[in-house]
Amino acid sequence: MIAQSIKDRNYRAWKGAKWANRWDPECGCYLDHKGNIIVEPSSLILETLMESLKQEDEQREREIHQIKLKKKS
């Protein structure tokens, strides 16, 4: 399941950032090794991730459909 994989990956990144003490006092959160914000794992909800992925897929399908329509005309 993709959403569970995302949640697991976030947890590992958060745990690594916490272990390395990459706390950013300005934004009040941990940062990964690239400087990206890491969300607190307990705040990630599987159903929310699944809905977000669904919306991204729908948007991608709309964009593909529009490209195909432009090619036809």
Q: What is the pLDDT of residues 7-64, one digit of tens each?
A: 898 899 999 999 999 999 998 999 999 999 998 888 888 888 788 888 989 999 999 9
pLDDT for res 70? 86
Q: What is the pTM of this model?
A: 0.66
List the domain boundaries for the chain: 2-72
Contact 38, 6 (CB under 8 A): no
Whole-angstrom distance, CA of residue 12 vs CA of residue 66: 38
Whole-angstrom distance, CA of residue 10 vs CA of residue 36: 11
Quick one: tokens of 58?
């729908």
